[in-house]
Amino acid sequence: MSRRLYFDWAATAPLRDEARAAWLECAGAEFGNAGSAHQWGRTAKAALTRARRTFASALGVERDDLFFTGNGSEANLLALHGAIAALPRERRHVLVSPIEHPSVLEPLETAARRGEIELEHLSVDRFGRVDPEILRGRCRPTTGLVSVQLANHEIGTLQPIAAIAATTRTHGALLHCDATQAIGKTLVTVPALGCDLLVISAHKFGGPRGVGVLARRRNVALTTPLSPGRQEQGLRGGTEDFASCVAAAAALTATLTEQVALASQLAELSALLCARLRERLDDVTFHSSETYGLPGLVNFSLPEVRGDWLVTALDQCDVAISHGSACASLASLPSPVLVAIGARERALHSIRVSMGRATTRDDIEDLVARVHAAVVKLRLP
């Protein structure tokens, strides 16, 4: 069997050793319910509070403005519907970029169909970037919420969030930012970005699955769209999985310690991948921006080779890549992200290669060789 190559870090990252050790420590003798008054419950509550403080400090918010959810998609739902429900009726105009993750676009589109908001899609350039000047012209006195992700989940485009935030503040609108793909690869804090609502997901940076995080700027009002309860300040009912939250905090601490070195490493690996693909496949088209792209994520397409075909062919060669977001990779429709950036004719042919802390130069060389061999076979008459 050939050496297995994992190039789908944007879908999920392997669990870090630090996270595994933290989870096992909490899941052993310390098994109490954080809502219980006895010593087992108090121990669990203290561990959960330490994890909350770790995330709050890292993201630049107060402890009581940091909320744990079941995943990043749920955190986006809580942020969006929670913010919309708290907006005055005269401020229900919402602007969103057309290349957001489905967990952002679908709840907003549902709210618009129900008549809860007036939804407009912003335009993006060929790299997927939102122009803050264009945003300024689209904001109205009725605009209450704007949603733009920090890093795109398919093509890796980094948005000028700080400039966008300056515009939303001028118009008195809230800014929601999905930073799920960016954490650990670029600076992600509420003060630095200037956003009001920030979402990340633990399994993207080596934490356990099942932990989403919502951070809010102080005094941003939220009303829960979920079943209310006394947990998470009444915004999300249910017994907290404190062991997973502690493990996620351990993964975050380790990830941020490596952030600068990792970003540099991933940028070099991305450049190497692009160079080698150009050498072996002269008809390759790249959809990720070399200037505005997230390090470690490269999206490309090849004529006459559908993306889902190449994913399947490489899977048979022990390589994991993807055709796009894990939440939409099984769909047969063209990628909305590629369509939005003007690459509709390439949308069914796109491939996302994403890397992480364990990726090496040898992995890149091996990947390109297997991609080339698979493409040659797929193009045979």
Backbone dihedral angles phi then psi of residue 349, each to the nearest 5 degrees: -105, 0
What is the rounded CA–CA span in Å between residue 204 and residue 113?
Answer: 31
Check if the beta carbon of residue 278 is closer than 8 Å to that of residue 49: no
Neighbours of 140 (CB within 10 A): 14
Q: How confident is the model at residue 227 (pLDDT cuts 50, 70, 90)?
A: low
pLDDT (tens digit per residue) in 233-283: 778 878 788 999 999 999 999 999 999 999 999 999 999 999 999 999 999
Contact 183, 255 (CB under 8 A): yes
Q: 248 and 343: one domain?
A: no
Tens digits of residue pLDDT in 15-74? 999 999 999 998 877 777 887 788 888 888 899 999 999 999 999 999 999 999 999 999
**Region 274-299 average pLDDT:** 96
> Which of 253, 277, 310 is a domain's end point?
253
For residue 14, is pLDDT > 90?
A: yes
Last residue of a domain, one of 205, 237, 253: 253
Name the percent of the chain lying above pLDDT 70: 96
- Is there a single domain that holds both residue 9 and residue 24? no
- pLDDT tens-digit readout, 86-140: 999 999 999 999 999 999 999 999 999 999 999 999 999 999 999 999 999 999 9
DSSP string, 233-292: GGTS-S---HHHHHHHHHHHHHHHHHHHHHHHHHHHHHHHHHHHHHHH-TT-EE-S-TTT
Residues 320 and 8: beta-carbon distance below 8 Å: yes
For residue 306, the domain's CATH number is: 3.90.1150.10
Q: pLDDT at position 327, please?
A: 55
The mean predicted confidence, pLDDT, of the chain is 93
Q: Are residues 21 and 9 in the same domain?
A: no
Structure tokens at 249: 């905090």
- The runs of H, that is alpha helices, within 60-118 are 72-86, 102-113
327 carries an active-site annotation: yes
CA 196 to chain centroid, in Å, comes to 17
| Count of domains for the chain | 2
Flag whether pLDDT at 75 surpasses 70.
yes
Q: Which of 235, 253, 271 is the last residue of a domain?
A: 253
Q: 243 with 134, same domain?
A: yes
Is residue 326's pLDDT more than 80? no
Do both 31 and 157 map to the same domain? yes
Q: What is the CATH number of the domain that holds 57?
A: 3.40.640.10
Range of the domain at 334: 5-13+259-378
Consecutive H or E run containing 175: strand 174-178
Same domain as 138, residue 150:
yes
162 and 54 in a common domain: yes
pLDDT score of 1: 57
Q: Quote the CA–CA distance of 175 and 139 in Å, as a whole number.
A: 12
Clarify whether residues 34 and 163 are in a common domain: yes
Which residue out of 139, 177, 195, 327 is catalytically annotated? 327
Same domain, 240 and 286: no
Same domain, 245 and 98: yes
> In this predicted structure, what is the pLDDT of residue 226?
67
Q: Which tens digit of pLDDT belongs to each residue from 137-153? A: 999 999 999 999 999 99
Do 213 and 315 fall within a single domain? no
Q: Where do we find the tokens 């209450």?
A: 144
**Would you say 332 and 362 are in contact if contact means Cβ atoms under 8 Å apart?**
no
3-state secondary structure of 173: coil
Do 210 and 193 lie in one domain? The reply is yes
Q: Which residue bears the tokens 């986006």?
A: 76
